[in-house]
Amino acid sequence: MPLPDDYLTYPARAYGMDNPHFEWTPRSKRTKTVLADGTKAIATLIIPIEFFPLNPPKTPFLHPGSVKTPYPDLRHFTVRDYGNRVGVYRLLRAFEAAGIKATFAVNAEIAKRYPPLLADIRGGGHEIAAHGVSTAHIHHDGLTEEAETRLIDEVRECFPDACTWLSPARNQSYRTLGLLAAAGFKICLDWEADNRPVAFKTEHGSITSLPHYGEISDVKLLTEQSQSDEEWIEQITDAATYSTESYLAEGTTSFAFTITPYVLGQPFRIHAVSAALQALATIKGLKIATASETVAAFEQADPAI
């Protein structure tokens, strides 16, 4: 059956990337970025700390991690709650043992309900990123500008000092980046558009996109694709190894990946986190840094982002 004539016609259709935020610049036509300290690649660990309601809305879609069966789905709800009460503390201990800092992306509902958890994350020297209101509050183009602004304002009240943002389900409207910039956020973790930070233009100023790779998230590999812990470790290590080995051709690169407390914080999987961190520590030229540290490093690079 042939496609209708207007299939590829929509309001944002344009040359290049179909968005006004950055130019279409293939790697072959741009200058390599080099950090002054010789770092070849930077890895950032993103830890989502999310609130999942028992009766999630289905508009615009169910968050990928939402509870699965009819209300009240206590089995899936308690697994996610376990991650926020138990699994996350195993991750904190693993990070402390490895001497690394991560970026914890926290829902506003978590900040309201569990202040001691935020204190423990901050106590470990980790970065707090704003992660929307909750998994039930997804940003999308069906929202009015006023409604989306209210969501961002509610989050900003809970995280007045946060410079980094991750949208629930990593979903945005066409207005989201501009509204985030207007609210004072400097970094966004939603996009996978590059292998190094990219300064995005908006009507309210610049906001930097830090590449965040869903293809190597633990939910995708361990839960959706049923891969083994060892396969997850291998793929994380391969991503880091390639990133450093591509330095001569591409310059310094960065990548972020997700470690989810209710997935890798389980007692039968926490060993995989420690093993992956140990493997990353052996890769010459690789640095592990928070999202804000990574962007700051690239802002001081030659040429700067």
Q: What is the per-residue pLDDT for 241?
A: 97
pLDDT of 71-106, one tens digit each?
888 988 999 999 999 999 999 999 999 999 999 999
Q: What is the per-residue pLDDT for 94?
A: 98
Residue 12 in any domain: the answer is no
Residues 278-303: what's their mean pLDDT? 96
Q: 4-13, 24-33, 170-179: which has the minimum mean pLDDT?
A: 4-13
- Examine the pLDDT at 1 and tell me if it is beyond 70: no
Q: What is the per-residue pLDDT for 2?
A: 74
Residue 68 in any domain: the answer is yes
Query: What CATH number is associated with residue 124?
Result: 3.20.20.370
Residue 204 in any domain: the answer is yes
Residue 124 in any domain: the answer is yes
More confident site: 24 or 119: 119
CA distance 298 to 302: 8
Q: What is the per-residue pLDDT for 28?
A: 79
Residue 195, CB-side half-sphere exposure with 13 Å CA sphere: 19
Total of domains in the chain: 1
Q: What is the per-residue pLDDT for 12?
A: 66
Pairing of strands 205-209, 198-202: antiparallel
Q: What is the per-residue pLDDT for 68?
A: 79
Residue 10 in any domain: the answer is no
Q: What is the per-residue pLDDT for 17?
A: 67
Q: What is the per-residue pLDDT for 303?
A: 84
pLDDT of 242-282, one tens digit each?
999 999 999 999 999 999 999 999 999 999 999 999 999 99
- Examine the pLDDT at 286 and tell me if it is beyond 80: yes
- Examine the pLDDT at 133 and tell me if it is beyond 70: yes
Q: What is the per-residue pLDDT for 39?
A: 97
Residue 67 in any domain: the answer is yes
- Examine the pLDDT at 205 and tell me if it is beyond 70: yes
Residue 248 in any domain: the answer is yes
Q: Which of 226, 231, 212 is nearest to 170 (CA)?
A: 212
Domain assignment of residue 213, given as a range: 42-299
End-to-end CA distance of the chain: 45
Average pLDDT along the chain? 94
Q: Are 186 and 217 in contact (CB under 8 A)?
A: no
Residues 171-175: what's their mean pLDDT? 96
b/e map 91-116, b = 16+ CB within 10 Å: bbebbeebebbbbbbbbbbbbeebee
- For CA atoms 121, 126, 130, 131, the dihedral sign is negative
Residue 174 in any domain: the answer is yes
Q: What is the per-residue pLDDT for 19?
A: 79
Q: What is the per-residue pLDDT for 5?
A: 77
Beta bridge partners of 198: 209
Residues 41-67: what's their mean pLDDT? 93
pTM: 0.94
Q: What is the per-residue pLDDT for 100?
A: 97
Predicted confidence band at 14 (pLDDT cuts at 50, 70, 90)? low
